[in-house]
C-alpha cells in the first residue's frame, strides 16, 4: 500500500519538471538489477564450497518464501514446513533414481505433488485456529523422519540409508564446472519463483491473504472466499517449499530421513522470522542468515548455531518484528532521501 | 495373555509420563490459552540437572527434590522474563515463535553442556520386579505410582488449598480474581512453575526407560499433545486420563497392528483427527463462540 | 460525619476517550451513597476508577490514604469490595468456592467458616446450592452470591454495580433488604450504582446524579427525591 501511494506521489512530481526525478519503483528495479549482476559474477570469485553454500541459500530462500506465503501473509502458523521440503526432495530423488527422469524435469513434478499434498493438508487445517494448526504442523515435523524410514516404502525411499544421486553435469557450451552450473541453475529458478511470488503477493491474491489474516470476519463479509484462499495458500506454499526441496536434493545429491527432522522446519521458521514476516525480500535475507550465521558460531560448539538461532527468534519478536527486511527498508529510505535532492518546487 | 498384560502395564507406565506432561500443558493452556511448545525441552533440561547432581554423588531422592525445586523456580522465571513480555507485545505468531525459541535454546544448551551422546539415567526403584512377576518391571510400577502420587498432590492442592483455588479462579476469570485480591500475574507464574516441576518429574521417570539425550522429550511431547487433546485440553483430569489411554493404545498398536516404526505418525493422526472431528476431546467443555 | 472515601477531580478514560470529567464526591463512614444516572453517564466507570480498573487522573483517598496509584489487588486488601457489573461470578466454580474466594485476602482465616455460615443464613437458597457450579444458578441467586462473595471480605466499603439489573422485583426487594440489614448491623458503608432511582433513593441516605461523565447534582436522598426535575426525568412520577 505504502509503496503504491509513494509511487503515485513520485509520478505526480516527476511529470511537470523536465529534470524528472527517479521514482522509488525505478530505484528498486535498479537495486535488484545490481544485486542480480553481482549474483551472476559471484561464482568467479568464490571457492566451490562457498558457492555450494550460496546455492543452498538460494534454495532456502525459495522455501522460506513458501513458508512466508502461508505464515507471513496468510497468518496460518506452520511449524512443519520441513515436511513439504522433504516431500519435494524425495519426489525428485525417487524420480531420478528409480525412474530415470532427468533432474530438471523432477522439479515441476515435485512442485505439483507438493501443491496437491499441501492443498489436501490445508483442508483439515481450515478447521484449526491459531495455535492448534501450529500444534498439528509441529507434530507433522516431528513425525516426518519416521515416516520416511517406513519399511513398506523403503523400495523407493531407500529406508534409513536414503538415496544417493549423481550430480548433474553442466552443458558443454557453458564452460563451467558442475558446482557453478548448479548455482546458475538454482539462481535462474529462484528468480522465476520470486517474480511469480511477487506478482502473486502484490496483487489481488496477496491482499486477500492479508485480509484473511488480519480481519477474517470482514474478509468473509466482503466476499473473499476464505476457505478457498486458505487451502490454496497452503498448496502454493507447499509448492514453493517442495520446489526448494527438489533443488536441494539435486544440489546435495543425497536425501536421507534424518536430514528432514523437526529442526529443518524450525530452520526455515528462523529464516522467516529473522528475514521478515510478510516480506518478499525478507526470504532472501533470512536464507542468507540461516545459511551463513552458523559458520561463525560453529567454532564455539556444535550446539552453538542453534542456541544463537533461538536467541535471534526471541530477539526478533521483541526488538525487530519486521525482521531484517524492515531494517533494510528503513536504511534504504534514508539513503534514497540523502541521494535524491530535496523534493518540492 | 501374558504379553498382552505386559503391554498394558508398560503402556500405563509411559501413559503416566504422557499424562504428567499433558497435565503440565493443560495447566498453562487453561491459565493463558497458550500451548507451551517448550514443555518437553524444559523437562529434558530438568532431567539433565538431576543427572548432573546424581553423577556428583547426591543421593537420588535428594537430587529429585532439588531438581523439582529448581525447575519450579526456573518455570516461574521463564514466564515472567520471556513469555509475559512476548504475550504483551506480540501476536499469537510472535508468541509461538518465542516458545519455539525457548525450545531451541534449551535443546542446544543441553547439547552444548552435556553433549549429544545418550546417557543412562538411574532408576530409584529396585532392579528386580516385584514378586518376580513378568508383567511389570519395578521401574514401570514405580513410575506409575510416582505419577499417581504427583497427580494426587496436585489434586489436593487445587481442590483444598486457598492458593490452589485462587489459581483456578485466576485462570477462569482474571478480572473477578483481581477484585477479590488475587495477584493474577503471580498465579500465572506459579502455574508455569508447577508445570515445569511436573515436567521435571516426568523427565526423571521416563529417562531410565528411554535413555537421556537432548531429543528425549520430542516424541513424548507429541504424545502428550495427543493425550491432552484427546482428554480435552481445557480439562486437567480428562487430559490425565487421555495420557493413560494414549500410553496403552500406543503399546497395543505397536504390538498388534503397525509395529513401533510409525509411532509418531500414529500420534500425528490422532492429533489431527481429534482436532478436526472432536476439538473438545472426550471430556472437554463445548465452547460456543459468538460473532 | 467522617469521610471514608474522598474523590476529587477524578477523570477516567478508555483508550483516548475520556468518560469522566472532574468528578468529586465523598462517602461517609457507615452511610449508603447512591450514584444515579442514565445509561452511559459514567456510573460504572466511576466504580471501576475506584478499584483502578481503568486509567484515571485525580485524587482518590480511602481512610485518608491515596489509593489512586495502587493496583486493584492492593485496593481490595484495604477493605474495598466490588460487585462488578455482570456480577463477576466464577461460573465454573461451586457456590462454596466462590464465597471462599471472597475471603481470599483475609488474614483471620479462622473466622472464615463462621462468615460462610452467616452468608448462608442471609441467603438460604445459596446454602441449598452450596456444591453446585455457580453457572447453574439463576440470575437472582447469582446476585445474592455476588453480594455474599463481596461481604466475605468483611469490607469497610462495598461498591455495588446495578444489583437490581435484570432481576424480578421480588428478588430485588429481598436483596435490598439484606443490604440494609448489613449496613445497619455490620456498619458496612456502601456505594450503590443504580438505574432504578426509586429503589436506590429508598435505601441510600446520600445521592449523586451523573450526566455524561459529570456530577450535576448532589444532596441527601430526601432532597434529590423532592427535586422537581429529577422526579420528572428519573423517577417517572
Estimate to the nearest angstrom the gap between the alpha carbon of B277 and the chain centroid: 24
Chains that touch B (3 or more CB pairs under 8 A): A, C
B222 touches chain A (CB under 8 A): yes
C-alpha span between A202 and A191 (Å, rounded): 16
Interface test with C, best of B176, B234, B238, B288 (most C CBs within 10 A): B176
| Partner-chain contact C82 B172, CB within 8 Å | no
Q: Do C and A count as touching (3 or more CB pairs closer than 8 A)?
A: no
The structural architecture, per CATH, of the domain C3-90+154-235 is 3-Layer(aba) Sandwich (3.40)
Q: What angle do CA B85, B86, B89 make, to 5 degrees?
A: 85
Identify the band that residue C236 occupies on the pLDDT scale cut at 50, 70 and 90. low
| Partner-chain contact B181 C105, CB within 8 Å | yes
B168 touches chain C (CB under 8 A): yes
In C, minimum Cα distance to B159 occurs at C97
| pLDDT score of A8 | 39
Q: Which residues of B touch C88 (CB under 8 A)?
A: 173, 175-176, 179
Q: Point out the least confidently predicted range of A42-46, B22-26, B37-41, C99-103.
A: A42-46
| pLDDT score of C235 | 65
Q: What percent of chain B has pLDDT over 70?
A: 95
Output the CA torsion B255→B276→A114→A157 (10° steps). 0
Measured in angstroms, the CA of B128 and the nearest CA of chain C are apart by: 46
C228 touches chain B (CB under 8 A): no
Measured in angstroms, the CA of A120 and the nearest CA of chain B are apart by: 13
Identify the band that residue A14 occupies on the pLDDT scale cut at 50, 70 and 90. very low
Of the candidates C76, C91, C109, the beta carbon closest to that of B180 is on: C76
| pLDDT score of B126 | 81
Give the mean model confidence (pLDDT) for residues B60-69: 96
| Partner-chain contact A303 B94, CB within 8 Å | no
C49 touches chain B (CB under 8 A): no
B244 touches chain A (CB under 8 A): no
The rounded mean pLDDT for chain C is: 88
| pLDDT score of A103 | 87
Identify the band that residue A22 occupies on the pLDDT scale cut at 50, 70 and 90. low
In A, minimum Cα distance to B214 occurs at A303
- pLDDT above 60 (res A17): no
C-alpha span between B32 and B174 (Å, rounded): 10
Identify the band that residue C131 occupies on the pLDDT scale cut at 50, 70 and 90. very high
Find, among B4, B284, B40, B229, the residue nearest to B135 by Cα. B4
Ranges A187-196, A216-225, A317-326, most confident: A187-196
Give the mean model confidence (pLDDT) for residues A110-117: 94
Estimate to the nearest angstrom the gap between the alpha carbon of B189 and the chain centroid: 17
Give the H or E element holding residue C217: strand C214-220
In B, minimum Cα distance to A301 occurs at B112
Query: Which are the contacts of B268, defined by CB distance < 8 A and separation ≥ 6?
Result: A136, A139, A140, A142, A143, B222
Q: Which residues of B touch C89 (CB under 8 A)?
A: 176
- pLDDT above 80 (res B22): yes
B18: cell is 504422557
| Partner-chain contact B262 A147, CB within 8 Å | yes
Give the mean model confidence (pLDDT) for residues A242-266: 91
| pLDDT score of C212 | 87
| Partner-chain contact B90 A147, CB within 8 Å | no
CA neighbours closer than 13 Å in the CB half-sphere of residue B252: 13
DSSP state, A72? I
Neighbouring-strand partners of residue C27: C5
| Partner-chain contact A139 B222, CB within 8 Å | yes
Integer angstrom CA distances of residue A25 from A7, A10, A162, A282, A336 = 7, 9, 46, 18, 12
C-alpha span between A338 and A342 (Å, rounded): 8
Give the mean model confidence (pLDDT) for residues C58-76: 90
The rounded mean pLDDT for chain B is: 88
Integer angstrom CA distances of residue A273 from A53, A182, A319, A324 = 21, 28, 12, 9
Find, among B8, B24, B28, B3, the residue nearest to B224 by Cα. B24
Between positions 107 and 166 of B, the ones with CB within 8 A of C are 162, 165-166
CATH class of B2-277: mainly alpha
Q: Which residues of C touch B169 (CB under 8 A)?
A: 90, 93, 97, 101
Find, among B220, B214, B238, B233, the residue nearest to B287 by Cα. B233
Condensed to tens digits (0 to 9), the pLDDT of residues B214-267 reads 989 988 999 999 999 988 888 888 889 999 999 998 888 877 777 777 778 888
| Partner-chain contact C73 B178, CB within 8 Å | yes
Measured in angstroms, the CA of A138 and the nearest CA of chain B are apart by: 8
Find, among B213, B204, B233, B223, the residue nearest to B268 by Cα. B223
- pLDDT above 90 (res B140): no
In C, minimum Cα distance to B184 occurs at C73
Of the candidates B168, B172, B181, the beta carbon closest to that of C77 is on: B181
In C, minimum Cα distance to B185 occurs at C73
Of the candidates B34, B93, B105, the beta carbon closest to that of A311 is on: B105
C111 touches chain B (CB under 8 A): no
**Cell numbers 528462523: residue:** A270
Give the mean model confidence (pLDDT) for residues A318-344: 79
| pLDDT score of A306 | 86
C-alpha span between B4 and B75 (Å, rounded): 39
B257: cell is 497392528
Length of chain C: 237
C-alpha span between B204 and A249 (Å, rounded): 40
SS3 state at B182 = coil
Find, among C18, B183, C72, C19, the residue nearest to C60 by Cα. C72
Q: Which residues of A touch B263 (CB under 8 A)?
A: 146
Interface test with A, best of B214, B218, B268 (most A CBs within 10 A): B268
Condensed to tens digits (0 to 9), the pLDDT of residues C136-151 reads 998 889 999 999 999 9
Interface test with C, best of B177, B178, B180, B183 (most C CBs within 10 A): B180
The rounded mean pLDDT for chain A is: 84
| pLDDT score of C98 | 94
Identify the band that residue A343 occupies on the pLDDT scale cut at 50, 70 and 90. low
- pLDDT above 50 (res C163): yes
Find, among C91, C86, C220, C62, the residue nearest to C155 by Cα. C62
B175 touches chain C (CB under 8 A): yes
B81 touches chain A (CB under 8 A): no
Q: Which residues of B touch C53 (CB under 8 A)?
A: 175, 178
Query: Phi, psi at residue A234, to the nearest 5°?
Result: -65, -45
SS3 state at C237 = coil
Condensed to tens digits (0 to 9), the pLDDT of residues B261-287 reads 777 888 888 888 888 888 777 877 654
Condensed to tens digits (0 to 9), the pLDDT of residues C85-96 reads 888 899 989 999
How many C-beta atoms surround the C-beta of residue B248 within 10 A?
19
Query: Phi, psi at residue B153, to the nearest 5°?
Result: -60, -45
Measured in angstroms, the CA of B132 and the nearest CA of chain A are apart by: 35
Identify the band that residue A16 occupies on the pLDDT scale cut at 50, 70 and 90. very low
| Partner-chain contact C89 B168, CB within 8 Å | no
Give the mean model confidence (pLDDT) for residues C165-178: 88
Query: Which are the contacts of B191, defined by CB distance < 8 A and separation ≥ 6?
Result: B27, B28, B30, B31, B32, B79, B167, B171
Q: Which residues of C touch B163 (CB under 8 A)?
A: none
Condensed to tens digits (0 to 9), the pLDDT of residues B181-200 reads 999 999 999 999 999 999 99
Q: Which residues of B touch A301 (CB under 8 A)?
A: 111-112
Give the mean model confidence (pLDDT) for residues B107-129: 87
C155 touches chain B (CB under 8 A): no
Q: Point out the least confidently predicted range of A49-53, A294-298, B4-8, C172-176.
A: A294-298
Q: Which residues of C touch B176 (CB under 8 A)?
A: 84, 88-90
B271 touches chain A (CB under 8 A): yes
| pLDDT score of C237 | 59
| pLDDT score of C2 | 67
Measured in angstroms, the CA of C178 and the nearest CA of chain B are apart by: 21
| Partner-chain contact C88 B176, CB within 8 Å | yes
If 0-12 CB within 10 Å is exposed, 13-18 middle and 19+ buried, where does residue A62 land? buried
Where would I find the beta strands (DSSP E) of C128-181? 157-161
C-alpha span between A63 and A81 (Å, rounded): 8
Q: Point out the least confidently predicted range of A259-273, C146-160, C222-236.
A: C222-236
A35: cell is 544485486
Q: Point out the least confidently predicted range of A271-280, A292-301, C68-77.
A: A292-301
Of the candidates A131, A304, A310, the beta carbon closest to that of B92 is on: A131
Of the candidates C81, C104, C149, the beta carbon closest to that of B182 is on: C104
Give the H or E element holding residue C56: strand C55-62
Amino acid at each position: 500500500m505504502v509503496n503504491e501511494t509513494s509511487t503515485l506521489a513520485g509520478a505526480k512530481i516527476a511529470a511537470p519538471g523536465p529534470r524528472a526525478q527517479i521514482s522509488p519503483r525505478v530505484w528498486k528495479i535498479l537495486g535488484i538489477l545490481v544485486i542480480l549482476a553481482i549474483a551472476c559474477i559471484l561464482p568467479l570469485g568464490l571457492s566451490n564450497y562457498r558457492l555450494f553454500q550460496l546455492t543452498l541459500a538460494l534454495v532456502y530462500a525459495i522455501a522460506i518464501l513458501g513458508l512466508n506465503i502461508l505464515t507471513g501473509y496468510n497468518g496460518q502458523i506452520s511449524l512443519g514446513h520441513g515436511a513439504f521440503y522433504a516431500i519435494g526432495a524425495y519426489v525428485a530423488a525417487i524420480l531420478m533414481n528409480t525412474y530415470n527422469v532427468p533432474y530438471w524435469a523432477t522439479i515441476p513434478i515435485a512442485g505439483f505433488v507438493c501443491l496437491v499434498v499441501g492443498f489436501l493438508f490445508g483442508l483439515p487445517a481450515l478447521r484449526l485456529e491459531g495455535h492448534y494448526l501450529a500444534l498439528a504442523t509441529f507434530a507433522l515435523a516431528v513425525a516426518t523422519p519416521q515416516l520416511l524410514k517406513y519399511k513398506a516404502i523403503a523400495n523407493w525411499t531407500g529406508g534409513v540409508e536414503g538415496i544417493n544421486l549423481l550430480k548433474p553435469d553442466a552443458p558443454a557450451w557453458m564452460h563451467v564446472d558442475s558446482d557453478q552450473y548448479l548455482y546458475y541453475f538454482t539462481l535462474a529458478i529462484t528468480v522465476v519463483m520470486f517474480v511469480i511470488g511477487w506478482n502473486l503477493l502484490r496483487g489481488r491474491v496477496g491482499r486477500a491473504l492479508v485480509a484473511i489474516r488480519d480481519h477474517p470476519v470482514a474478509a468473509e463479509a466482503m466476499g473473499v472466499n476464505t476457505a478457498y484462499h486458505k487451502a490454496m495458500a497452503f498448496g502454493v506454499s507447499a509448492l514453493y517449499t517442495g520446489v526448494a526441496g527438489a533443488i536441494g536434493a539435486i544440489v546435495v545429491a543425497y536425501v536421507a530421513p534424518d536430514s528432514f527432522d523437526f529442526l529443518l522446519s524450525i530452520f526455515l521458521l528462523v529464516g522467516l522470522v529473522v528475514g521478515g514476516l510478510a516480506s518478499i525480500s525478507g526470504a532472501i535475507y533470512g536464507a542468507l542468515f540461516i545459511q551463513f550465521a552458523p559458520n561463525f558460531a560453529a567454532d564455539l560448539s556444535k550446539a552453538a548455531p542453534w542456541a544463537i538461532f533461538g536467541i535471534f527468534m526471541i530477539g526478533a519478536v521483541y526488538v525487530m518484528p519486521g525482521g531484517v527486511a524492515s531494517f533494510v527498508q528503513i536504511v534504504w529510505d534514508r539513503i534514497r532521501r540523502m541521494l535524491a535532492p530535496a523534493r518540492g518546487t | 495373555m501374558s504379553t498382552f498384560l505386559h503391554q498394558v502395564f508398560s503402556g500405563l507406565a509411559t501413559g503416566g509420563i504422557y499424562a504428567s506432561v499433558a497435565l503440565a500443558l493443560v495447566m498453562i493452556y487453561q491459565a493463558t490459552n497458550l500451548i507451551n511448545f517448550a514443555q518437553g525441552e524444559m523437562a529434558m533440561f530438568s532431567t539433565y540437572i538431576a543427572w548432573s547432581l546424581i553423577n556428583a554423588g547426591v543421593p537420588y531422592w535428594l537430587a529429585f527434590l532439588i531438581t523439582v525445586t529448581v525447575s519450579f523456580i526456573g518455570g516461574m522465571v521463564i514466564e515472567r522474563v520471556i513469555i509475559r513480555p512476548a504475550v504483551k507485545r506480540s501476536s499469537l505468531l510472535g508468541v509461538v515463535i518465542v516458545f519455539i525459541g525457548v525450545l531451541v535454546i534449551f535443546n542446544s544448551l543441553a547439547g552444548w553442556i552435556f553433549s549429544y551422546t545418550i546417557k543412562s539415567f538411574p532408576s530409584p526403584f529396585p532392579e528386580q520386579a516385584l514378586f518376580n512377576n513378568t508383567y511389570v518391571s519395578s521401574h514401570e510400577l514405580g513410575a506409575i505410582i510416582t505419577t499417581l502420587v504427583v497427580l494426587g498432590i496436585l489434586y489436593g492442592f487445587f481442590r483444598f488449598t486457598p492458593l490452589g483455588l485462587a489459581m483456578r479462579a485466576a485462570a477462569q476469570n482474571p478480572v473477578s480474581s483481581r477484585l477479590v485480591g488475587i495477584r493474577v500475574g503471580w498465579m500465572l507464574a506459579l502455574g508455569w512453575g508447577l508445570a515445569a516441576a511436573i515436567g521435571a518429574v516426568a523427565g526423571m521417570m521416563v529417562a531410565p526407560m528411554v535413555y537421556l539425550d537432548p531429543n528425549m522429550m520430542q516424541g513424548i511431547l507429541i504424545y502428550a499433545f495427543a493425550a491432552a487433546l484427546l482428554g480435552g485440553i481445557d480439562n486437567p483430569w480428562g487430559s490425565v486420563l487421555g495420557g493413560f489411554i494414549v500410553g496403552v493404545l500406543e503399546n497395543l498398536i505397536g504390538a498388534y497392528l503397525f509395529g513401533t516404526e510409525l509411532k509418531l505418525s500414529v500420534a500425528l493422526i490422532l492429533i489431527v483427527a481429534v482436532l478436526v472431528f472432536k476439538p473438545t476431546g472426550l471430556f472437554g467443555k463445548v465452547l460456543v463462540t459468538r460473532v | 460525619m467522617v469521610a471514608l472515601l474522598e474523590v476529587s477531580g477524578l477523570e477516567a478514560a478508555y483508550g483516548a476517550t475520556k468518560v469522566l470529567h472532574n468528578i468529586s464526591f465523598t462517602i461517609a463512614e457507615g452511610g449508603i451513597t447512591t450514584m444515579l444516572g442514565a445509561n452511559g453517564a459514567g456510573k460504572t466507570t466511576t466504580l471501576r476508577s475506584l478499584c483502578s480498573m481503568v486509567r484515571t487522573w485525580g485524587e482518590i483517598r480511602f481512610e485518608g490514604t491515596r489509593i489512586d496509584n495502587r493496583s486493584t489487588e492492593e485496593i481490595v486488601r484495604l477493605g474495598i469490595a466490588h460487585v462488578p457489573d455482570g456480577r463477576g461470578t466464577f461460573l465454573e466454580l461451586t457456590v462454596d468456592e466462590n464465597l471462599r474466594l471472597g475471603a481470599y485476602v483475609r488474614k483471620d482465616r479462622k473466622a472464615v467458616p463462621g462468615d460462610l455460615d452467616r452468608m448462608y443464613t442471609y441467603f438460604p437458597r445459596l446454602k441449598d446450592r452450596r456444591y453446585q457450579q455457580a453457572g447453574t444458578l439463576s440470575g437472582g441467586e447469582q446476585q445474592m452470591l455476588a453480594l455474599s462473595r463481596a461481604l466475605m471480605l468483611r469490607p469497610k466499603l462495598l461498591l455495588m454495580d446495578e444489583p437490581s439489573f435484570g432481576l424480578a422485583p421480588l428478588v430485588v426487594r429481598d436483596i435490598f433488604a439484606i443490604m440494609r440489614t448489613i449496613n445497619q448491623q455490620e456498619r458496612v458503608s456502601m456505594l450503590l450504582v443504580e438505574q432504578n432511582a426509586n429503589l436506590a433513593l429508598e435505601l441510600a441516605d446520600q445521592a449523586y446524579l451523573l450526566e455524561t461523565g459529570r456530577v450535576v447534582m448532589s444532596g441527601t436522598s430526601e432532597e434529590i427525591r423532592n427535586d422537581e426535575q429529577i422526579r420528572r426525568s428519573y423517577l417517572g412520577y
